[in-house]
Structure 1
Amino acid sequence: MSTVIEQAVEARLVAAAPRMPTIPAKLRYDRRDPFAIRMTFPAPATLEGVEVCWTFSRELLAAGLQGPEGHGDVRVRPYGYGRTVLEFHAPEGTALVHVRSGEIREFLKATRDLVPVGREHLQMDLDDGLARLMRDAC
C-alpha cells in the first residue's frame, strides 16, 4: 500500500487584474508525516522562479472548508459556492489562491482513507525520530 497521496489541483491566483491565471498546483500527503499537508507551486508560478512548497496541517485544510481558519502563514476559508481560498503569507507578500472545494474534499477523503483522523500518532516512528535527533546532537 502506498504511503503517499498526491493530487493535482487547479488553483487560480487572485490578482489585481480582472482575470485570475490558473496555476497547476499539487497537494501531497505522506502518512510518515501524518499531520501535514504540502501544497507545491511550480517555478513559473512563483515570484522567485523556483518551486515553492507550503506545509500546513490537514486539520487546518479540513476546517477551512467550513469557515475561516488559521492565524499564521497559512489561512483557509470558503469562498462562494464551491471554492476555497488559501492565503499564503510570507515576508515578500501574500498570495491568495482559489481551489475547487470538491478537489480538496476528494483529496482529504483519500488522506482519511489512508490515515483516519485521530489515528495519526500510530503512523509516527518516535524511536527512529529520537535516534536521529540524538545522533545529530553528537
Structure 2
Amino acid sequence: MARSSRSGCTARTTFHLVGPQSWTAVPAALVYDSSDPFAVRVRFGDGATDDVEPALYDDPDDDGGVEWLLSRDLLRAGLTGPVGEGDVRLWPARGGLDVLFLQLRAPSGEAMFELSGAVVGDFLRETELLVPAGGESDLLRVDEELSALLRGGTDNPTGR
C-alpha cells in the first residue's frame, strides 16, 4: 500500500491500459511530496515500482518511465464524479464498482487507464495526514516570498 516518509508518501499500484481488444497491466506509482502540496505525480513504467523516496522522482536525468503531474483536488473529486478537461480527465465507473477511469492526452497520443478507486482513496488519506485538505497554501509561504520581492530581494542584476 502507501509508503510514507516525513515529507511525502508513495502508493505503488497497477493501472490497466484499456486497449481496443485487451487490457495491459502498467506498473504505476502515485507520489506525493509536501513541498509541492497541491500536486500528485503519477509515474508509469519500470521505475514506478522501484523502492525510492518521493523526492527522488524529481531527478531530471531519470529515464525509467513517464511522469504526469495531477492536482490532488482533481483526484479527490474524481472519486465521486467526472472531473477534468483537456489533457486529463477522471471519472468513476457506474454501478458502484471500485474502478476509476483516467484519460491522459498528449501531442503524441492518448491513453485510457482503469485503476482502483480504493487505492486512490487510501493514498489521498495518507497525503491528508501530511497536509490536510485546504492547508496546502499554508506551506507555500506566499506572503514571505512577496515581501522579499517587494523589499528588493531579487536576483535581478539590473537593480530594477
TM-score when normalising by structure 1 = 0.85
2:26 maps to 1:23: yes
Q: Distance in 2 between matches of 1:74 and 1:7?
A: 20
Q: Distance in 1 between matches of 2:12 and 2:141?
A: 28
**Segment drifting more, 119-128 vs 84-93:** 119-128
The one of 30, 40, 56 equivalent to 2:70 is 56
Paired letter, 1:84: L
The one of 30, 36, 55 equivalent to 1:33 is 36
Cα offset, 1:125, TM superposition: 3.6
The percent identity for this pair of structures is 33
2:12 maps to 1:8: yes
Structure with max Cα Rg: 2
RMSD across aligned positions (CA): 2.5
Does structure 1 retain, via aligned residues, the 8 Å contact 2:45–2:66? yes
Q: Give the equivalent residue in structure 2 for 1:106.
A: 122
Does structure 2 retain, via aligned residues, the 8 Å contact 1:74–1:87? yes
TM-score when normalising by structure 2 = 0.74
Does structure 1 retain, via aligned residues, the 8 Å contact 2:27–2:46? no
Stretches of structure 2 that go unaligned for 5 or more consecutive residues are 48-62
Stretches of structure 1 that go unaligned for 5 or more consecutive residues are none
Does structure 2 retain, via aligned residues, the 8 Å contact 1:43–1:52? no
Q: Give the equivalent residue in structure 1 for 2:109.
A: 93
